[in-house]
Amino acid sequence: MSAALKPVHGGASPPPRHFLELMDHDGPTLRRMLDLAVRAKRGEITQRPLAGKTVALIFEKPSTRTRVSFEVGVRQLGGEVVVLSGADSQLGRGESPADTARVLSRYVDAIMLRTSSVAKLRELAAHATVPVINGLTEVSHPCQLMADVLTFEEHRGPIAGQVVAWTGDGNNVAQSFIQAAARFRFTLRIATPAELAPPAEVLDWARAEGATVELFRDPAEAVRGARCVVTDTWVSMSDETPDAATTNRHNLLAPFQLNAALLRHAAPDAVVMHCLPAHRGEEITDEVMDGPQSVVFDEAENRLHAQKGVLLWALAERG
C-alpha cells in the first residue's frame, strides 16, 4: 500500500484528532462522529462548544459546499474561521506543508485543507499539533462519505448489510466509498470502465478489512437490487479541459450514466445520491436527479451536519 493510503498513528501525546481518511478510524469512532452530527442536526447541542476556537479553512481547489458548510458549521457551533485560498497562503507559493503546519498550529485550533495533493495533506497533519481535516484530495473525500451515510440512514435506516451501487468513474469519492464499505459494513458494487477502475491497493485494503466490494463492467448488474445508487462527475469541475483525453473519458463513461433505465434495476425504494456539482445530462439525467428517489439535496445539506460531528469529535470532546 502506498504511503498516501496508510493510516496515520502515533505523534505527540495526546495526539491531535485528525480526520484524514475513514480508514484511519474504526467503526465505533466514525459512528460517534455521526451520533454527534445527528444531535447537532436535531438542535440538541444548545451550548457553543467551539466558543473561543478558530478553524483555518485552506482551499487550494474551488468549492461551494465544502466552504459554506464548514464556515456555517463552525460559526453555528460558536467558533470563528479564517479562510485562505491558494493565492492567500504561502502553502501555495512554495512554503512547505510542515512549516505551514507549525505556524498555523500556533494561531488556530484546527485546520481544514482542500487540495489536489494527498501528500501535502499528510505532511501538514504529520507536523500540526492541532487537528487537520481532509476537505478533499485527489484520492478521497471522507467528509462527503460521512454526509452520505448520514443521509442514507435518515431515509432507509442502518446502512450495515445494505447494498450500495456506484456507477461511473472510480474517482476520489468512489475510493472513500470503498473505505466506508469496510467501516460501516455495507456491500459496495462498483461499475466502471476498466480504464477508470479504482486503485487495486484500496480495494485490497478494504477486502483485507472484511469488506464486500465487487467490480462490474455492466452497470445494470451492479445496480440490480441496490438500496442506494451513487454517481459523480466524470471530470472534476476544476480539471475540465476540452481536449482529446476528456472526450475519450466521456466516451468511456457514457454507458454508465445514471438514468431512469438504469435506476429501474435497483430496489424499488432505492435512493439516488450525487455529491454535486453535477453535469446534468452527462453522468446523471434531470429525470433521476429531480425525481422522487433522489436525496441529492438532503445529502448536500448533511455536509453541514456531518462536518459538525467531525468538528465536535476533534475539538469539543478534547477540550
Question: Could you list the active site residues?
Answer: 114, 141, 144, 232, 275, 303
What CA–CA distance (Å, rounded) separates 32 from 183? 13
The amino acid sitting at 61 is K
What CA–CA distance (Å, rounded) separates 142 from 136? 7
Neighbours of 244 (CB within 10 A): 8
C-alpha cell at 112: 481544514
Beta-strand runs (E) in the chain: 54-59, 80-85, 110-114, 132-136, 163-167, 187-191, 213-216, 228-231, 271-274
Provide the 3-class DSSP secondary structure of residue 23. helix
What CA–CA distance (Å, rounded) separates 137 from 104? 20
What CA–CA distance (Å, rounded) separates 7 from 25? 8
Residue with cell 462522529: 33
Radius of gyration of the chain (CA): 19
Residue with cell 468512489: 174
